[in-house]
Amino acid sequence: MSSSRQSRSTPPASHRLEKMAVGTVVGQGNLSRPERGTGARPNAVLDCGWGRLVFAHTFADNKAVAETLSREREGHRDIGFYVREPHVVLSFAPLELFLDPSHTYRLWMSEYRPARRRSKGFYIRPVSTREEIESINRIYAHHGMMTVDPTFLWNNRRSRKLCYLVAIDENTEDVLGVVMGADHRYAFDDPENGSSLWSLAVDPQARHPGIGEALVRRLAERYKARGRTFLDLSVMHNNVEAQALYEKLGFRRIPAFTVKKRNMINERLYTGPEIEETFNPYAQIIIDEARRRGVAVEPIDPAEGYFRLSLGGRAVICREALTELTTAIAMSRCDNKAVTRRLCAEAGLRVPAQTVAGQSESNIRFLENYGSVVVKPARGEQGMGISVDIRSPDDLEAAIETAKAFSDKVLLEQYCEGDDLRIIVIGREMVAAAIRKPATIFGNGNDPIRTLIERQSRRRAKATSGESTVPMDQETERCIELAGYSMESVLADGKELRVRKTANLHTGGTIHDVTDRIHPTLAEAALRAAEAIDIPVVGMDLMVPDVEKDDYVIIEANERPGLANHEPQPTAQKFVDLLFPQTVVRPADIAARRQERDPYSP
């Protein structure tokens, strides 16, 4: 740490005097063990619902810290915070513990300055309903974070030790983000009068900017009002965006260390360096799961998502979720949308009316028969060249020309109202289901539609590592004009406008998990369609009026579905199960191994 960094971490004189007054040893960051007579509770541990905060600086010796962290409960994540001598702690349990590669930041409350402007579109308050806890866990799971025990959070929602704050959408009342705070004074009679921030997460589908910053500010203001001296947090060393936010708010690095127990949740932090090659999220989610199970990963063509997985004498080449297990026949059936439809119809599944675009007269007749149609290239993916809800002959001809840029053969299809439902089938099992919604903007009464689209596109790109953007093309302009606006129109504040008809992620769409809600008939239709195509891994696309009812039509099939889009559902796990079934760990296997180690265990 540089001298300039050290000087910024040193508390102001007023803080040093305050700490001297309560009898603690003063030092940079003031992380030394509280002296006798300070009133701090020894061996302080705080249950947070997802694991325990182990305040290591309150422990009498390092061995006790190691023993406490080693007793972590299964399915939880404990954090040893303020570890003074991490190398010594690790020496007592070198195979169980590891030094977390995170930085600790501190905000001195006397230096905090409130925001100049109030956030618009959402408000922040403590958790107040059980439904909000479900939403919190959905957000945590999406980010790969530990979920919180709902009963624990509900019973502790008014605790002075813990505080869970949520950001709530003013219009929909949906939970948009969450943060947890720990009050050290109430947790262990902290003589330093501190507090800390944990588990900050924002729904990646949230349309409002600044949610994370607002949650941090509100928590800081809450503890400042209680008279707390500082707010600390731990952030991964490579999370530069989060660090930039915290430094903007006045947080500064302090020399504190964190120790955790080795477990499945933390595995990527201690298994060694990641593969140097950069893969997109759809390949990376599979690679991470494979490495976790000891399956070797060999990059082949990272730019295109190709890699080889191998274990023992078995090796499988993958391109994201497409593998050698998918035959050329099955792939060609998915690639040709007309063939996909015909196979599904022959299997007794419901499909929309469809024809091949031909002479202008026949195209117009098909349009007149159904009133509204979808125009799509017979071959293609990611929504490219597709025009939806075409109602006029002029728009029909223009849409056909657009589709021809992607395929010589163009299909006209009956337009069916409803939501775009993607069902993931892996190994003849439905693993995940999600509603895909088209790109949508919300007016603010000031900016033109063009500017709102550009902002929404930037937010979607940031939330999806560049995978999702809203194209500024003829189809977007057509959708806007169909709604009675132009690119330069100014939407009223709060006015919602869909700027695309297709719900593909790559054209700015958003994805909303409905796995636990879909009607059994819809799941069965997807399974039967996968069987008809004879494909082991597929994303089946259906149009449905309501996911909880049995009405549907099958639109198409994707032989290379984006598994990362369906977290927290276990898509990558089921994918690796299919390829390497010998790596599957079942509850019965765990119990058997435990019995082998200790024949007297229950």
Q: Is residue 251 part of a domain?
A: no
* pLDDT value, residue 28: 34
Instruction: Flag whether pLDDT at 23 surpasses 80.
Output: no
What percentage of residues in the chain have a pLDDT greater than 70? 89
Residues 286-329: tens digit of each pLDDT: 998 988 787 889 999 999 999 999 988 899 999 999 999 999 99
Which tokens is 236 given?
Answer: 């991964």
What percentage of residues in the chain have a pLDDT greater than 90? 58
Q: What is the domain extent for residue 116?
A: 107-233
Strand partners, 178: 166, 201
* pLDDT value, residue 585: 62
Q: Is residue 152 part of a domain?
A: yes
Task: Please report, as a single letter, which amino acid is at residue 331.
Answer: M
Q: Is residue 95 part of a domain?
A: no
Instruction: Flag whether pLDDT at 136 surpasses 60.
Output: yes
* pLDDT value, residue 168: 97
Looking at per-residue pLDDT, the higher value among 2 and 150 belongs to 150
CB 142, CB 203: distance < 8 Å: yes
* pLDDT value, residue 346: 96
Instruction: Flag whether pLDDT at 11 surpasses 50.
Output: no
Q: Is residue 155 part of a domain?
A: yes
pLDDT band of 273, cuts 50, 70, 90: low
Q: Is residue 225 part of a domain?
A: yes
Instruction: Flag whether pLDDT at 470 surpasses 60.
Output: yes
Instruction: Flag whether pLDDT at 2 surpasses 70.
Output: no
Write out the H or E segment, with its range, that includes residue 90. Answer: helix 86-92
Contacts for 26 with CB less than 8 Å, ≥ 6 apart: 16, 19, 20
* Edge-to-edge strand list for the sheet holding 387-390: 354-356, 410-414, 373-377, 387-390
* pLDDT value, residue 25: 28
Tell which of 233, 250, 270 closes a domain: 233
Q: Is residue 16 part of a domain?
A: no
pLDDT band of 482, cuts 50, 70, 90: confident
Q: Is residue 358 part of a domain?
A: no
SS3 track for 544-555? ECCCCCCCCEEE
Strand partners, 180: 164, 198
C-alpha span between 314 and 311 (Å, rounded): 5
Between the CA of residue 329 and those of 77, 197, 320, 334, what are the distances in Å? 46, 54, 19, 9
Which CATH number fits the domain that encloses residue 171?
Answer: 3.40.630.30
Residues 202-253: tens digit of each pLDDT: 998 898 989 999 999 999 999 999 999 999 999 999 899 899 999 999 999 9
Residue-averaged pLDDT of the chain: 86
Instruction: Flag whether pLDDT at 123 surpasses 70.
Output: yes
Contacts for 189 with CB less than 8 Å, ≥ 6 apart: 39, 40, 41
The region of weakest confidence among 137-146, 462-471, 578-587 is 462-471
* pLDDT value, residue 272: 60
Number of domains in the chain: 2
C-alpha span between 108 and 249 (Å, rounded): 11
Write out the H or E segment, with its range, that includes residue 283. Answer: helix 281-292
Instruction: Flag whether pLDDT at 14 surpasses 80.
Output: no
Q: Is residue 475 part of a domain?
A: yes
C-alpha span between 253 and 105 (Å, rounded): 4
The region of weakest confidence among 13-22, 215-224, 406-415 is 13-22
The region of weakest confidence among 11-15, 44-48, 424-428 is 11-15
CB 51, CB 148: distance < 8 Å: no
C-alpha span between 54 and 56 (Å, rounded): 6
* pLDDT value, residue 275: 76
C-alpha span between 291 and 269 (Å, rounded): 12
3 state SS of 80 = strand
Between the CA of residue 484 and those of 124, 438, 509, 515, what are the distances in Å? 35, 18, 21, 35
From its phi and psi, is residue 299 left (phi > 0), alpha (psi between -120 and 50) or beta? beta
Q: What is the pTM of this model?
A: 0.56
* pLDDT value, residue 6: 35
Task: Please report, as a single letter, which amino acid is at residue 226.
Answer: R
Instruction: Flag whether pLDDT at 175 surpasses 60.
Output: yes
